Amino acid sequence: MAVKHNNVLHNNHFRKDWQRRVKVWFDQPGAKKRRRTAREAKAAKLGLRPVQPLRPAVRCPTLRYNTKIRSGKGFTHEEVKAAGLGKKYARSVGIPVDHRRRNKSEESLKLNVERIKAYQARLVVIPAKTKKNKDKKVDLSGVTAARQVQSLLPLPASFEAEQPRAITEDEKSFAAFETLRVTRGKHRAFGKVKARIQKKEEEAANAKK
């Protein structure tokens, strides 16, 4: 135990034949290798399957980070429905559904619906061995050529890089940050401004009477 704070210094008396009670990890490299081979054997026994569930492509929150795209937790009900799936079935085939997420743009909805459809096109569902599924046949011809991957579908690029070009005079004079701030301010105050204009119109109408 490390010495901490203003306490008495230890004067430990090792009188219990402590040399026989020393714990060692001489088998650490061997145990590591055994765990790895066990994982590989389990993966081979289970066959080819997704290493992790499919995740949606989402924008990071806040003004500072919303230009970046990252993996989300789960797809929205709208995205799953637009892809032609039920949320219960989607969860059973490795498509998580997050009831808290909301689609705030058509672009995000379209992007994630395309991700689900691309995943479905590659997916091979082998039904459980039950009396109900006894006559169902699955085409596994394409599975032999499949290979194990860590990530399912790569995330799309956050933005498309443009070729270098000369900056125009309009672009030099354009105040991008100020324009963004003014636009956000107008959006934030839209309800109050509308209510104020409506109130003035009502007062003017009452004054005429």
Model pLDDT, residue 21: 84
* pLDDT higher than threshold 90 for residue 144: no
- 3-class DSSP state for residue 69? strand
Residue 187 host element (H or E): helix 176-188
- Which distant-in-sequence residues (6+ apart) come within 8 Å of 52 by Cβ? 150, 151, 152
- Average pLDDT (56-69) is 92
CA pair distance 116, 80, nearest whole angstrom: 8
pLDDT category of residue 138 using cuts at 50, 70 and 90: confident
pTM, entire model? 0.64
CA pair distance 117, 135, nearest whole angstrom: 27
Give the number of other Cβ atoms within 10 Å of residue 165's Cβ: 6
Q: pLDDT tens-digit profile of 103-133? A: 999 999 999 999 999 999 988 887 777 777 7
Percent of the chain with pLDDT over 90: 61
Give the number of other Cβ atoms within 10 Å of residue 56's Cβ: 24
Q: pLDDT tens-digit profile of 16-60? A: 888 888 889 999 999 999 999 999 999 888 777 777 899 999 999
Highest mean pLDDT pick, 139-143, 152-156, 202-206 = 202-206
- Average pLDDT (134-160) is 74
Q: Are 82 and 114 in contact (CB under 8 A)?
A: no
CA pair distance 56, 112, nearest whole angstrom: 6
- Phi/psi region, residue 91 (left: phi>0; alpha: psi -120 to 50; beta: rest), is alpha
CA pair distance 20, 193, nearest whole angstrom: 81
Model pLDDT, residue 102: 95
Model pLDDT, residue 13: 79
CA pair distance 41, 39, nearest whole angstrom: 5
Q: pLDDT tens-digit profile of 68-109? A: 999 999 999 999 999 999 999 999 999 999 999 999 999 999
User: Which spans in 3-141 are helix H?
Assistant: 28-46, 62-65, 77-82, 87-92, 106-122
Give the number of other Cβ atoms within 10 Å of residue 73's Cβ: 13
Kindly report the average pLDDT of the chain as a whole number: 89
Model pLDDT, residue 108: 95
